[in-house]
Amino acid sequence: MLLSKFRCLHEIGSVALFGVLIRWIISTNPYSGKGKPPMFGDFEAQRHWMEITYNLPVSEWYHNSTANDLSYWGLDYPPLTAYHSWICGFIANRINSSWIALSESRGIETESHKVFMRATAIIADLLVYILPICALGYQRRTHHGGFPYIIRICAEICVLLLAPPQILIDHGHFQYNCVSLGLTAWAILFVNDEKDVTAAVLFSLALNYKHMSLYLALPFFFYLLGRCHQAGRKAGSTKLVKIGAAVIGTFILCWWPYLWNFDDATQVVRRLFPFSRGIFEDKVANVWCALNIIVKLHRFNTGVLAAVSTLATLFGNVFSSLDLFRNPNDHKFRYALVNSALAFFLFSFQVHEKGILLPVLPATLLLTDDPIAATWFIIAATFSMFPLLLKDGLALPTYAMVTLFLTLSCTLLEWKLPRYGERVSKHGPQNEEEEQHQYDFACALMTISVMGFVILSLGCQFAPVYQRLPDLWTLLLSVYSCGHFVLFFIYFHVKQFEAQPILHKQRRKTMKAE
């Protein structure tokens, strides 16, 4: 989908600019690890990677050496992140070389440097994340020459762009999740456009930027496989070969410098998957952390835990993946993305709080089709990261962003319960009334649940700390969020099984008629 196909560019552009504005306002807030030597935080990690990649040759990036102390924020993301850091480092060097001076620049905290880092994140966000989100919002309303309902499109794009988790983490806490998420969004855009090879290439790039994108890999795999299967034996296998070649080609290109030496490659892989860190970190809102309250998991062998968690993850993925393979369509695909990412988040080994960003991306795209559930889920995801954000001094922006998002979502989107399958055909006053009841019930439940989040988050900030249970409120919050995620996991599965195609409805019908 080319940019030239857009109509009403300047309206959409102004909405995108509003998104950038909000991001920039958030970025005036403090970042992670500000003024906290000796390790600082993710902000320093990103800066350190620029320093390392700019000053050292490619082969040394992942190796421990005197110049590259891996215990101080060593590079542990795939090569595309490293290249991105190199580009940023190159620009930083042109502006002010002291920002990335090798080992002398550690913990640098000047105002101009902060603005530089913030600007790199926002530019990356604009180019890689905001653009595909705008395109997806546009595509949703204009498929098959539909009327460009410009106010509706702008309203939807505005809500999609203001989903708080990614904004708060990227521009408050500081990371470049927007790149991997944005590449995934581009891939989804091309999937919707039925350009499967391009989509596969883009998703491979996302994987090579941040390996956490693996959370979303299974739906991509099964969707593309299902599409090949659907296309028939001959055309399907050709397509499969094409996609496979494209993926392998992308990987080879990204890993080019490391392919010539087996040691280098294994070192990178070791850095990417550190099994030594334990099954979960801090108080993450997944099943293992909740289970840990009852059964102390650290007594078990790490290998056993890894095996159990992998099995659980795979089991969590089976239903949604098989369903997607049997009946691949754009709508099921979005639900499957949420389901798969949630399965990984809930059950897999070594999960981080920020992992929730991955299910949030497809959930954001579901905002137009299933607004209540998606909004609710996104808010729950935001609050599940609250302890992290609180540590960075981002409590007030979190509340503000959630309020903004909730308000815009419930006024700009058509809040209704999704109706798919057989239920669509039923019409009549009685049914309408029943739906109204369901709608009111859903809204009431959501209000109660969000109130719960607010109370727990306030508890994290202001409640007195008990000596025996110092992390009581944080733990309560994470268990509460975990409960939400498990229920959403079930709900989204149900919805996935019901989902009918949206974008290619007409074409499917005509195909059947033929």
Residue numbers at the binding site for another protein (CB under 8 A):
11, 14, 17-18, 20-22, 24-30, 111-112, 114-115, 118-119, 146-149, 151-152, 396-397, 399-401, 403-404, 407-408, 410-412, 414-416, 432, 436, 439
- Whole-angstrom Cα distance, residue 86 to residue 144? 42
Among 362, 390, 378, 371, smallest CA distance to 456 is for 390
Which two structure tokens, joined as six digits, stand for 47? 């800066």
Report the nearest approach of another protein to the CB of residue 480 (Å): 24
- Whole-angstrom Cα distance, residue 373 to residue 115? 36
Query: What CA dihedral angle connects 257, 263, 267 and 268, to 10 degrees?
Result: 20
Q: Which is nearer to another protein, 72 or 415 (CB)?
A: 415
Q: Which is nearer to another protein, 35 or 38 (CB)?
A: 35
Q: Which is nearer to another protein, 27 or 204 (CB)?
A: 27
Yes or no: say if 52 and 23 are a contact pair by the CB < 8 Å rule. no
Q: Is 357 helix (H, G, I), strand (E, B) or coil?
A: helix
Report the nearest approach of another protein to the CB of residue 120 (Å): 13
Yes or no: say if 113 and 88 are a contact pair by the CB < 8 Å rule. no
Q: Which is nearer to another protein, 15 or 82 (CB)?
A: 15
Yes or no: say if 27 and 176 are a contact pair by the CB < 8 Å rule. no
Q: Which is nearer to another protein, 206 or 366 (CB)?
A: 366
Which two structure tokens, joined as six digits, stand for 406? 């909730």
Q: Which is nearer to another protein, 265 or 408 (CB)?
A: 408
Computed on alpha carbons and rounded to an integer, the radius of gyration of the chain in Å comes to 23
Report the nearest approach of another protein to the CB of residue 458 (Å): 15
Q: Is 280 helix (H, G, I), strand (E, B) or coil?
A: strand
Report the nearest approach of another protein to the CB of residue 483 (Å): 27
Find out whether the peptide bond into 38 is cis, omega within 30 degrees of 0. Answer: yes
- Cα angle: 361, vertex 366, 368; to 5 degrees: 130
CB count within 10 Å of CB 125 equals 27
Report the nearest approach of another protein to the CB of residue 25 (Å): 5
DSSP 95-129: H-GGGG-TTTSTT---HHHHHHHHHHHHHHIIIII
The residue behind tokens 């059947």 is 512
Q: Which is nearer to another protein, 17 or 451 (CB)?
A: 17
Report the nearest approach of another protein to the CB of residue 318 (Å): 35
- Whole-angstrom Cα distance, residue 61 to residue 64? 8
Q: Which is nearer to another protein, 112 or 310 (CB)?
A: 112
| Number of DSSP helices (H) and strands (E) in the chain, helices first | 22, 0
- Whole-angstrom Cα distance, residue 236 to residue 242? 10
Q: Which is nearer to another protein, 142 or 302 (CB)?
A: 142
- DSSP code for 268: H
Report the nearest approach of another protein to the CB of residue 391 (Å): 15
Report the nearest approach of another protein to the CB of residue 46 (Å): 17
Q: Which is nearer to another protein, 11 or 109 (CB)?
A: 11
The burial class, CB within 10 Å (0-12 / 13-18 / 19+), for 483 is: middle
Yes or no: say if 2 and 195 are a contact pair by the CB < 8 Å rule. no
Q: Which is nearer to another protein, 342 or 388 (CB)?
A: 388
Q: Which is nearer to another protein, 281 or 434 (CB)?
A: 434
Report the nearest approach of another protein to the CB of residue 400 (Å): 4
Report the nearest approach of another protein to the CB of residue 181 (Å): 22
Among 472, 344, 411, 500, smallest CA distance to 151 is for 411
Q: Which is nearer to another protein, 162 or 200 (CB)?
A: 162
Report the nearest approach of another protein to the CB of residue 429 (Å): 12
Q: Is 351 helix (H, G, I), strand (E, B) or coil?
A: strand
How many Cα atoms are found within 13 Å in the side-chain-facing hemisphere of 315?
8
Which two structure tokens, joined as six digits, stand for 461? 């900030």
Report the nearest approach of another protein to the CB of residue 44 (Å): 18
Report the nearest approach of another protein to the CB of residue 434 (Å): 13
- Whole-angstrom Cα distance, residue 218 to residue 196? 15
